[in-house]
Structure formats: C-alpha cells, structure tokens
Amino acid sequence: MFQLKKESRNPEEFLPLSPATFHILLALADRDRHGYHIMQEVERHTDGKLRLGPGTLYGSIKRLLADRLIEESDERPDAELDDERRRYYRLTEFGYRVAAAEAERLQRLVKTARAKSLIPKVQGR
C-alpha cells in the first residue's frame, strides 16, 4: 500500500475564487453531490440570488476536476433511488484547503467592511 504525498500546491494561488466556483466547493463541503443537486444547493444557500445554469456549472466542474479541487466519486446511493447516468463529485483534500482559504479571505473582507461601517458591527464585539 502506498502513502499519498501531501499536496504541495499553495491554496492561495487559486484565490480569489469566482462566486460560482466557491459556491460549488461549499455545496460539496459536507457531502458528495451530483450536478443538479449542486445547482439546487447553491440556489438554496443564496436564497435564489445565484442560479447556476448548466453551462456555468459543468464548465466550472470541468475546471475544478482539471485543477484537482474536486474528483468524481465512485460511491453511489441506492441504485433504485438514483439514475446511473449521474456523476457524483466530492472535494479533494486540496479542494477543501482552497475553499477554507477563500472563506478566510472573505472573512477578512467582512471585517474590513465592518471597520468602515459598511455593515453593522456584531453586538458584543
């Protein structure tokens, strides 16, 4: 059995992520999903403000696969509940690190926006 090498690429090199890319990574952060389910999850998390069309979704997925931020999953739900044509995707360890780096970058931006009174300060801080 071989041991996987730790990814040597720097997640910061991928930042900033496009909103579509970041939302796809967020949708995959907690479980494997197929394309249509990713579209639904993004729409749900953005209260309908971001709707990924098939071209945007699958173009982004193609790039994320090429960059090894996501991978196709071999695991499938119960065959009776699923369409065998669906492709399921999951975050790679490196994809998780990139998504976390983007979340931290956005958190710093929100902190700056609060300091400049663009958004309300959080009570108790």
Residue 31 lies in a domain: yes
For residues 87 and 27, give the distance between their C-alpha atoms in angstroms, rounded to a whole number: 15
Answer yes or no: is 123 within a domain.
no
CA-CA distance, 41 to 29, in Å (whole number)? 11
According to the model, what pLDDT value does residue 47 have? 97
pLDDT in tens, 32-83: 999 999 999 999 999 999 999 999 999 999 999 999 999 999 876 655 556 7
Count of structural domains within the chain: 1
- The pLDDT-based confidence of 1 (bands split at 50, 70, 90) is very low
Mean confidence (pLDDT) of the chain: 90
CATH code of the domain in which 105 resides: 1.10.10.10
- How many CA atoms within 13 Å lie on the side-chain side of 14? 25
The pTM of this model reads: 0.86
Domain housing 100: 15-115
The enclosing H or E element of 122 equals: none
